[in-house]
Structure 1
Amino acid sequence: MSELKESGLKREIGVWGLSANIVNIIVGAGIFVLPAIISEIMGSSGIIVYLFCGFLIALVMLCFAEAGSKVTRSGGGYAYVETAFGPYSGFLAAIFLVTGSVFSDAAVANALVELIGLAFPVFTDPVNRFLLLFVLFSGLAFLNVIGVKQGIGLVKINTVAKLTPILLLIFFGWKDVSFSNLYWEAAPTFDQFGQACLILFFAFQGGDAGLSVGDEIKNPQKTVPKAIFIGILFVLILYVLIQTVAQGVMGGQLPDFKEAPLAAVADVVFGPIGYTVLLVGAGVSMFGMLSGEILNMPRVIFGFASDRIIPVDKLAAIHPRFKTPYLAILLYAGLGFILAALGGFRQLAVIASASMLLVYFGVSLSVIWLRKTQKSKQGDFKIPFGYTVPLLSAGIILFFLSNLTGYEKTGLTIFFVALTIIYFMVKSIRKKNKIMTK
């Protein structure tokens, strides 16, 4: 087979390169906060939640790999859903994709401000917290409006900053682990397990973006499943070790340090210097994640508006001087600021997870439909074991979503109905305008 495909890109990414890409995207800011929350819900049995979430994300990414091999246009999850089920489903997937991202950013911003509040207690005051969130989002928005070069410069330091302190903590933390803190005093209830799964999924989402380099992967039919296995396994081992060390060192005290649980562990392992290093590392990682999201996601909104997937043409506007999608940037940063100011990390993380799970649910179903409606081409990646993986993926996602509270389910339903009304109203208006112009 030729090294060049239709896109003209060289297939140079192998198993290890693709695995590293997946790991880099999945391991984000959430893991600096979630160990305390999982410990609060599950106690010392939290590891089983990590295993289950890792299993689900592996299934989901296999679905993305197969759908992506059949749908070659850009857009990721929403493009697969739209190709399989039509514009309406694609519109919903696009909105939930953006919703998941903006809620995720708001959750991380909350965690970052709480972290800063530990170092500078003045920011625990509600007014000062509000002002700090405003400065954070408006500053990043301004930076990205004046140019993409300035925005992307902030993203580069994120990978090293987030992995180095975590790996050091795991390596040196074993000497302070008390194995009595890891004994299960009681088995978790089914409700506790479901609740923990829903919020922990926040730390596992996003790996599908690592497969976006599909046109540059060598021998994708073999490379993709191997890279998914290696990447997810690495993330899973990393997360399990983080939770084990944190739980083993802190025991029942771990839930008392929700703002910075890993920094509290580092304080025991390394002393005050370790606490400071982990605190700074967590802050840099969270800030890096926010800067990357506010760089990338407004451009996704810009693409949606340009392609008329979302019915707001003005969001496709480009700044006359800086040549950036400034209205999309301002909208995205503004929504993130409002949500961060109104909610806390835990609530925002649950809604972010639910929104992304809905997109992943659509992608899982799209694999089944695309198999039925499109003929396989040479080079297409196909998940083994028939429909087992997409059906299992969809079923587990429904289990996760079933653990939303009644209030969250009601809110999600109202949002869904509102989006449906907006979609068909805009479609009707555009149809009338088209008829009038003829």
Structure 2
Amino acid sequence: MSGLVRGLGLGDAVLVGLGAMIGAGVFSVFAPAAAAAGSGLLVGLAIAAVVAYCNATSSARLAALYPESGGTYVYGRERLGPFWGYLAGWAFVVGKTASCAAMALTVGLYVWPERAHLVAVVAVVVLTALNYVGVKKAARVIVAAVLVVLAGVVVLGLRSSGVELGNVGFSGGFGVLEAAGLLFFAFAGYARVATLGEEVRDPARTIPRAISLALVITLVVYSVVAVTVLSVLGPSRLAESTAPLVDVVVVAGFPGLAPVVTVGAALAALGALLALVLGVSRTVLAMARDRRLPVALAAVHPRFGVPHRAELVVGAVVAVAAGVADLRGVIGFSSFGVLLYYAIANASAFTLGRRVVPVVGFLGCVVLAVTLPVASVLSGAAVVVVGGVLYAVR
């Protein structure tokens, strides 16, 4: 029933992960994180990176053993039991659907702030159609363009007269943990490679390498950009900004380049949305195969080799969410679901031996999840309970 083609090599897999992470973090999450941690944003980034590293290591080990579509849904099912696999899949689908909406809204806020929701819905429709024909060429173009734009913003920002390195601090109190939970949202894209396990060549070797490379490259990019935006804008202005990288080039004295940054932001968010829809649809495919979701969603297109029904359903749900949601709210909600997903991944990896990293990753996920904004914790917990009830009923 699968019919998926192993056409992604190491470079393609790394690009899928980079597209998911860089678009998610640089253009959308620094502002709410700065609102929580102030100048201690970098501390939150470091904590999120440690937890992400543990999760990446656990995911890579599991993906090498189970190179199937579905990621932690498969790992939890095989290592912990059907319920835990289902719960991981449910948390991933719900959390990453919110992530898709966040990325679509990021496109709207940069491209046309007054009509952000309309632009977001259009972006979802276009990307859902693009997923029908494959991701390799689109991912290459998007990631290359985004990295060029980010490099330009960093160079212009750090050369400006408005740079204040004193804005970069290493304090922040309890807000640092909240910021780390929000920033984790930006790192979670590395597992997109694992969810594409049936489409990667030599998965036992390629998936772990791709995850590690994508995570290291993203951490370097995030750190440089975080120092730049904090130095130029300061924590207060950054916290209030809806388009911080555009504000950086304006403050640096290059307002004429603001449209270029806007295009880069849109491309980054579109790249993230492309990879996110891929990951969610593959998890839906795996759950539908096991009849945890309607079995009709397990169909694979005979020509394009993609789970087309799952992608259409995911695209429709994301379009609705993008049409009504608030960006900061969906980031917190998404982080809660994704942290639960990775907690189960670490618990699954714990059964493989070499347990220090899975324990640190598990505890990190739990701590960051409960220190998210209260509304995100309550809404996320409610959705998890709903998922558990549906499992019991089925």
Q: Provide TM-score, normalisation by structure 1.
A: 0.77
Aligned pair in 2 of structure 1 residues 329, 21: CA closer, same or farther (>3 Å)? closer
Q: Which residue of 2 aligns with 1:359?
A: 341
Aligned AA (1:209)? R
Q: Which residue of 2 aligns with 1:392?
A: 360
Q: Which residue of 2 aligns with 1:434?
A: none
Aligned pair in 2 of structure 1 residues 48, 10: CA closer, same or farther (>3 Å)? same
CA RMSD in angstroms comes to 3.4
Aligned pair in 2 of structure 1 residues 171, 327: CA closer, same or farther (>3 Å)? same
1:332 Cα deviation after fit = 1.0
8 Å Cα contact 2:60/2:208 also seen in 1: yes
Deviates more, 1:192-201 or 1:165-174: 165-174
SS in 1 for 2:104: helix
SS in 2 for 1:331: helix
Among 115, 119, 123, which residue is 1:136 paired with?
A: 123
Q: Deviations over 1:394-425 (max 9, x none)?
A: 11111101113444333333323322222232
Among 199, 203, 209, which residue is 2:192 paired with?
A: 209
SS in 2 for 1:189: coil
Q: Which residue of 2 aligns with 1:82?
A: 77
Aligned pair in 2 of structure 1 residues 275, 19: CA closer, same or farther (>3 Å)? same
Q: Which residue of 2 aligns with 1:67?
A: 62
Among 178, 202, 208, which residue is 2:163 paired with?
A: 178
Question: Distance between the aligned counterparts of 1:317 and 1:197, measured in 2?
Answer: 38
Question: Distance between the aligned counterparts of 1:90 and 1:183, measured in 2?
Answer: 41
Among 209, 234, 238, which residue is 1:255 paired with?
A: 238
1:25 Cα deviation after fit = 4.4
Aligned pair in 2 of structure 1 residues 216, 207: CA closer, same or farther (>3 Å)? same
Deviates more, 1:334-343 or 1:227-236: 227-236
Among 410, 418, 427, which residue is 2:378 paired with?
A: 410
Identity %: 22
1:393 Cα deviation after fit = 0.8
Among 22, 30, 42, which residue is 1:27 paired with?
A: 22
Aligned pair in 2 of structure 1 residues 17, 152: CA closer, same or farther (>3 Å)? closer
8 Å Cα contact 2:188/2:338 also seen in 1: yes
Q: Which residue of 1 aligns with 2:149?
A: 165
Q: Which residue of 1 aligns with 2:369?
A: 401
Aligned pair in 2 of structure 1 residues 248, 11: CA closer, same or farther (>3 Å)? closer
Question: Distance between the aligned counterparts of 1:419 and 1:410, measured in 2?
Answer: 14
The answer as to 2:108 corresponding to 1:113 is: yes
Q: Which residue of 2 aligns with 1:424?
A: 392
Aligned AA (2:363)? G
Q: Which residue of 2 aligns with 1:36?
A: 31
In structure 1, stretches of 5+ residues that fail to align are: 1-8, 124-128, 372-385, 427-438
SS in 2 for 1:157: helix
Aligned AA (2:391)? Y
1:63 Cα deviation after fit = 0.9
Aligned AA (2:42)? I
1:324 Cα deviation after fit = 6.2
Aligned pair in 2 of structure 1 residues 284, 318: CA closer, same or farther (>3 Å)? same
Q: Deviations over 1:327-373 (max 9, x none)?
A: 423321221122223321111011111111111101111112244xx
8 Å Cα contact 1:112/1:287 also seen in 2: yes
SS in 2 for 1:27: helix
Q: Deviations over 1:30-71 (max 9, x none)?
A: 311222322222222211111111111111111112223333
Deviates more, 1:399-408 or 1:57-66: 399-408
8 Å Cα contact 1:257/1:264 also seen in 2: no
Aligned AA (1:157)? V
Q: Provide TM-score, normalisation by structure 2.
A: 0.84
Aligned pair in 2 of structure 1 residues 139, 161: CA closer, same or farther (>3 Å)? same
1:156 Cα deviation after fit = 4.1
Equivalenced residues, count: 385
1:294 Cα deviation after fit = 3.6
Aligned pair in 2 of structure 1 residues 60, 245: CA closer, same or farther (>3 Å)? same
Q: Deviations over 1:219-246 (max 9, x none)?
A: x8xx958x76665343223212111111
Aligned pair in 2 of structure 1 residues 316, 28: CA closer, same or farther (>3 Å)? same
1:301 Cα deviation after fit = 1.9
